Amino acid sequence: MSNANTPPPVPPSGPGSPQDVPPLPGQFGIDPSTLPPPIRDELLAPDPVAIDTSAEELKDGANRCPKCGATDIRQRPGTDLLVCLYCRNEWHGQRVEEEFGFGEGLDDLAGTIMASGARDIDDDVSSLMTYKCTGCGAEVTVNTESTMTARCHWCRHVFGVNEQVANGAVPDAVLPFHIKKDDAVARIRQFVDKRRMFALKEFKEQFTPENVVGVYLPYMIVDGKASADVAGQGEIETRRYTQGSGDKKKTYYDADIYRVERHVDFTVDDLPLESSTERGNLDTGVNTNNIINTILPFDTKNAVKWNASYLSGYTSEKRDTDVEQLRPRLEDQLLSIARCQVEESVNRFDRGVRWEQERLDVHGTRWVAMYLPVWLYSYQQGGKGGMLHYIAVNGRTGETMGSVPVQQWKLLLAAITVGTFLEGIALWMLGSSS
């Protein structure tokens, strides 16, 4: 029988014991000052700041004309204006940079700042959005996997997904189309006509540019403040000479070798990164997604605050990557920018500089999710599973680039013909000189 005055036994310690409990919120289980600087800085970095870009007046799904209240709203083709199809009233969407100050404060960026449309995707959030029609009370469902607008089949009210749901379907901003479909079709036709001679026969037979699709592609537009250090070896040529004769003649050079180090501080403004896994896949063995990058840049400074009415008549692709997944690609591009920044300072090394060490420090970033407009024509060579070719038109500038499948034997024949022709000219010139 135990004595009432006997103290309770001391709980065991160690892993798995009652004393092995997690630290309280805001506390760390280890002293951060004892950690290596990169780990310490990451541990102590402030949580990402989110800027709310949602439109409170559009959360019920209805975009109403400010003049008459009708909901049948469209973009006026070729402009950034919205037009009411009932009373013909027109108005301009709010530019997102002016509304939220995204074009300011690059030199003051610190940590990670993201707009609310760029927050992490929750895979458990449904793609189906249901709205109660304010006109007749019926329920209207929009599947954000394929469309962002729908019309009530009872009273014809138009609804758009403007509420920023966590499934990646609603960005912060949209850059409206300026290039109309007829113009895009003409540009694609002209692009193909210049390459028709060597194009694959099946491609020419199936080429129907009228099937071109206007699609809004998801991007992260990133502002950043960074610094970089690069180091390597540079060479300055001091003498060049040849030795030997005939086929055994060789050219040599002497050069002074220097250790080269450079430091650069810089900012980036509106750097675009694809935020679709499918479009970000640049495997040139199966697709020509890299074509999309060749029609950059877009005038993202003119992007307007998100409004699903701009998507009427177009398709869109949903974002499926988060900020942290895109960060390695951002850092790679920032390093490329840093190399370009120091290029002018190493011109004196006429033999070039071989960079052997690189270090990048990203001091602050700001992320904005945005839809950018592209006219897209696709062709799958060899049927399902074959090479997927794209021809793309920048929906703002009209810049056009693409991939046209070619007949390899025609290219070979042309190369042989040109080679034979040039060889004949060379022999004629040699004969004339002798």
**What letter does residue 34 receive in the DSSP assignment?**
G
* Residue 258 pLDDT grade (very low, low, confident, very high; cuts 50, 70, 90): very high
Which tops the pLDDT comparison, 58 or 334?
Answer: 334
* Residue 276 pLDDT grade (very low, low, confident, very high; cuts 50, 70, 90): confident
Average pLDDT of the residues in 345-374? 93
Q: What are 157's two structure tokens?
A: 């009210």
* Residue 8 pLDDT grade (very low, low, confident, very high; cuts 50, 70, 90): low
Residue among 336, 325, 214 at smallest CA distance from 276: 325
> Contact, 317 vs 414, CB < 8 A?
no
- Does the structure show a pLDDT above 80 at 20? no
Specify the 3-state DSSP secondary structure of 50. strand
d(CA 362, CA 263): 14
Output the average pLDDT for the chain. Answer: 81
pLDDT tens-place string over residues 136-193: 666 666 666 666 666 666 556 676 666 666 667 789 999 999 999 999 999 999 998 8
How many CA atoms, within 13 angstroms, populate the side-chain half-sphere of residue 164?
A: 22
Residue 82, pLDDT score: 93
Which tops the pLDDT comparison, 229 or 244?
Answer: 229
Q: What is the pTM of this model?
A: 0.77
Residue 299, pLDDT score: 95
